[in-house]
Amino acid sequence: MAELGTGRGVWRRKPIETIEEAEETEAHGEHLTRTLGLWQLTAIGVGGIIGAGIFSLAGTIANGVAGPAVLVSFLIAGVASAAAAFSYAEFAGLIPRAGSAYTYGYAVLGEIGGWFIGWDLLLEYTAIVAVVAIGISGYINFLLGETHAQLPDWMLGAPGTGDGHRVDLFAALLCLLIAWLLTMGIKNAARFETIVVGLKILVVLLVVVVGFFHIDTANYHPFFPFGLSGAFTGAATVFFAVFGYDAMSTAAEESKDAQRHMPRAIMYSLAISMVLYVLACLVLTGMQHYTEIDKESGFSTAFKSVGLSGIADVIAVGAIIGILTVMFTFMLGVTRVWFAMSRDGLLPKWFAHTHPTRHVPTRVTWIVGVASALIAGFVPIGEAAELTNIGILLAFAVVCTAVIVLRYRQPELPRSFRCPGMPVVPAIGVAASIWLITYLAWQTWVRFAVWFAIGLVVYFAYSYKHSELSHADARGIPRD
């Protein structure tokens, strides 16, 4: 017999044994289609991890935060992310449903815990899409400069990023482009993602192989120009660049065999990405002194500085194409979290509507597309990047905690993947996430507190009364 629904009020939980049931009957028949295989999922994960971290943020962090120790920043973030990845992999095999951390939190920590994870991810993922779009825009501007094209200053950046800048038009339009692509159906969109991820990996390998022959080891000194604290601050800032597998896991409901494929895709995507990150950071800081690295188009300007303008142009084009996959992954993630929350009744079910033939949540996709376009168009990349991390780090801490709780609460549940080193590994994920949070700027805390307060109002004004579990409680129906 399935476990009866446990907990009451804000602590009520969705029984794990029943989460997979009624997939096509929830929310009045709104559902997603299972079409993704292992390598498509891995491509989505790699697509979400590799992108802005290499092509944009690596230069930004190296220049003004960590210097050559940007490599250490990525390693610290990678270790923290790996500890969390094991926890995500266990949950992904156990609960193959849309929503990722939101769904896991709802099942283990109760409705209020799931709500705030989901609420955080709505903001964080949307902001990540915007940050990545701004990064692409920097490379577009680099290419335009190479062709001596003269464009109006007002359309080249957000207010405050340059003389006469009013809006980053390219970044805003890219957000709308990805939204349109996602509305075309997951099968076609995933095919595009897989092809482009392959091209992106080739570009990164080109950077590593060619750049290796132009490394000047003198550029590595001093290695910690901003001290160890600079490396830790850099890790907190680049953390969103090493957890694309989280957004990928929101697509579990669209995987052909999520219980087997999702855990493997999570581990494969993180391993591939971290190797490429380490090699790319070594090349970038070895080719140019950290004080000379361009914050927006680091690799292109680095190669141009050593007389390889042709390679620089190829990298710029590759960056533009490749970073699109990050936007794809995280916009996919936020729309699936929103869909899952709406299907559960925590947000209006109107948002859970899917296209009658493509079976994708078109309404929320366009809303996210417009919201991310506004952020990308009018917020500088540094401020937007800081907006992305605190909620994600908290979500990681919650997921790592939840996997420990569930392992001891229900050890008999069938798990296709088991987090190793229990409870030490997930505990490392919790500690690392909380530690990195302390290095974020106070402005980030203020923004998060405001979003948290809004979430409290929305939950108690709407979500608490309208959730599916609330309706079941009102009718006296066991949640089994």
> Over the stretch 364-394, which tens digit does the pLDDT of each residue have?
999 999 999 999 888 877 677 666 777 778 8
Higher pLDDT, 452 or 240: 452
Q: Note the Cα 374 to chain centre separation in Å.
A: 19
Which pLDDT score is estimated for 17?
Answer: 63
Asked if pLDDT for residue 49 goes beyond 90, the answer is no
Burial state string for 395-407 with b = 16 or more CB within 10 A and e = fewer than 16 = bbbbbbbbbbebb
> Over the stretch 104-131, which tens digit does the pLDDT of each residue have?
889 888 899 899 899 989 988 898 898 8
Q: Where are the domains of the chain?
A: 31-475
Which pLDDT score is estimated for 31?
Answer: 67
Is the bond leading into 414 cis (omega within 30 degrees of zero)? no
Rounded Cα gap, residues 67 and 243, in angstroms: 22
Which pLDDT score is estimated for 19?
Answer: 61
Distances (CA, A) of 45 to 310, 318, 442: 30, 18, 30
27 falls in which pLDDT band (50, 70, 90)?
Answer: very low
Domain 31-475 has CATH 3.40.50.360: no
Rounded Cα gap, residues 26 and 23, in angstroms: 6
Distances (CA, A) of 304 to 235, 299, 300, 316: 27, 8, 6, 11
> Over the stretch 454-468, which tens digit does the pLDDT of each residue have?
999 999 999 999 998
Which pLDDT score is estimated for 128?
Answer: 85
Asked if pLDDT for residue 26 goes beyond 50, the answer is no
Mean pLDDT of 292-319: 80
Asked if pLDDT for residue 477 goes beyond 70, the answer is no
Mean pLDDT of 72-100: 86
Least confident of 55-59, 81-85, 408-412: 55-59
Asked if pLDDT for residue 147 goes beyond 60, the answer is yes
Task: Answer whether 46's CB lies under 8 Å from 201's CB.
Answer: yes
474 falls in which pLDDT band (50, 70, 90)?
Answer: low
> Over the stretch 196-253, which tens digit does the pLDDT of each residue have?
888 888 888 988 999 999 999 999 999 999 999 999 888 877 876 787 788 888 888 8
Which pLDDT score is estimated for 478?
Answer: 52
Distances (CA, A) of 161 to 66, 104, 347: 22, 40, 36
> Over the stretch 328-355, which tens digit does the pLDDT of each residue have?
888 999 999 999 999 999 999 999 998 8
Mean pLDDT, the chain, integer: 84
Name, of 5-19, 22-36, 115-129, 428-442, the range with top average pLDDT: 115-129
Is the bond leading into 222 cis (omega within 30 degrees of zero)? yes
Q: Which amino acid appears at position 58 of this protein?
A: A
Which pLDDT score is estimated for 462?
Answer: 95
Asked if pLDDT for residue 415 goes beyond 90, the answer is no
Which pLDDT score is estimated for 52?
Answer: 62
Name, of 7-11, 319-323, 336-340, the range with top average pLDDT: 336-340
Asked if pLDDT for residue 57 goes beyond 90, the answer is no
Where are any strands of DSSP class E within 206-315? none
Rounded Cα gap, residues 158 and 378, in angstroms: 5
Which pLDDT score is estimated for 357?
Answer: 86
438 falls in which pLDDT band (50, 70, 90)?
Answer: confident
Task: Answer whether 111's CB lies under 8 Å from 479's CB.
Answer: no
The percent of residues in the chain predicted with pLDDT above 90, rounded, is 29
Which pLDDT score is estimated for 473?
Answer: 61
> Over the stretch 245-289, which tens digit does the pLDDT of each residue have?
888 888 888 888 888 898 999 999 999 989 998 899 999 999 999
Task: Answer whether 295's CB lies under 8 Å from 59's CB.
Answer: yes
